[in-house]
Structure 1
Amino acid sequence: MLTIRLALGGSKKRPFYHLTVTDSRNPRDGSHKEQIGFFNPVARGQEVRFSVKEDRLAYWLGVGAQMSERVAQLVKVNAKAAA
C-alpha cells in the first residue's frame, strides 16, 4: 500500500521533513517513489514552514495512496490558512 508520509532529514536539533510517497513497508527514511513537499517545524520569520505540490498530492491520492495522520493534519491546517 502506498503511503504519503514524512521522512526525517536535517541535522541535530534542526529537524526537517520531506513529504514522500512510499510503500508502507519501507523504513521511514528509506527509498521512496516521489518527494512531493516538505515540512520545516523550526521555521522562523519569513521562512516557509510547509509546502506541498497540490497537483502531485491529488494524483497520488487518486491512485490510492493514503496520507499518514500527521500529513493529513498538516494538509488540513494549511488548506485553511491558504483559504
Structure 2
Amino acid sequence: MATKIRLQRQGKKGKPFYHVVVADARAPRDGKFIERLGSYNPNTNPATIVLDFEKALDWMIKGAQPTDTARTILSDKGVLYKKHLLGGVKKGAFDEARAEELFAGWTESKSAKVEGAKTGLAQSKEEAKKSALAAEAKKKEERAAAIAAKNAPVAEEVPTEDEAPEATDTDAAASEETEG
C-alpha cells in the first residue's frame, strides 16, 4: 500500500487549520487516514507546527512519501535531516553519536533563528505601533489648532474719530434713501 504524509484540512472558511496525517495515497484528502502525526496552523505568525517527531521519522523510514507542503513542514522540524543522518550511519560514514551531535547543533541553530525572527517581528510591530501613535498625536494637534483658529473671535478694527473715512456721494445717497 502506497502511503503519503499529507495535510487534512480542518477549520472554517478563510481560517484553515490542518492535521498532518499518514494516509493511503488513494484515500480522499479529508477522508480515511492511518495515523495522525500533528497539526499545522498557518493563521498565526509565525505558523504554529505541532509534530510527533518520532512517529514522523518512523513513517519516513518506512517509506511514506510526503506531499510538497508536508515535506516543508517535516524539513522545518528536522525530520528529513534526521533521516538523512541515519542513512549516513547505516552506510558507515559516521557513528550514531556523531549523528546525534550534528542534529543537536542543527536544532540549536534553528531554534536561535526562529527566536530571532520572533523578536524581529515583535520589534517591528512595536515600532509600527509607536509611529502610528506619533502620527495620530500630530494629526490631533493639527485638528486642535484648526478648531482653535476657527473658534477664535475675530477682532474687527473699529476706526477711531481721527481715522474716520470721509463720506462719499454714494454713501450720502444711500443714507438719504434709508431715511426717506
Q: So what's the TM-score if we normalise by structure 2?
A: 0.41
Unaligned runs of 5+ in 2: 79-106, 113-180
- Tell me the equivalent position of 1:19: 20
- Tell me the equivalent position of 1:8: 9
Give the secondary-structure state (helix, strand or coil) at the position aligned to 2:32. coil
Q: Alpha-carbon deviation of 1:16?
A: 0.2
1:74 corresponds to which letter in structure 2?
I
Q: Which runs of 4+ in 1 moved over 6 A?
A: none
Is the radius of gyration larger for structure 1 or structure 2? 2
For residues 38-77 of structure 1, what are the structure 2 equivalents within 5 Å?
38-44=39-45, 49-77=48-76
Higher helix share: 2
- Tell me the equivalent position of 2:34: 33
Unaligned runs of 5+ in 1: none
Q: Alpha-carbon deviation of 1:44?
A: 4.7
Higher strand share: 1
**In structure 1, what is the Cα distance between the partners aligned to 2:67 and 2:21?**
11
**In structure 2, what is the Cα distance between the partners aligned to 1:41 and 1:10?**
11
2:23 corresponds to which letter in structure 1?
T
Q: Alpha-carbon deviation of 1:12?
A: 1.6
Give the secondary-structure state (helix, strand or coil) at the position aligned to 1:57. helix
User: How many residues are treated as equivalent by the alignment?
Assistant: 81
**In structure 1, what is the Cα distance between the partners aligned to 2:111 and 2:74?**
10
Q: Alpha-carbon deviation of 1:82?
A: 3.5
Cα RMSD over matched residues? 1.9
2:20 corresponds to which letter in structure 1?
L
**In structure 1, what is the Cα distance between the partners aligned to 2:4 and 2:77?**
20
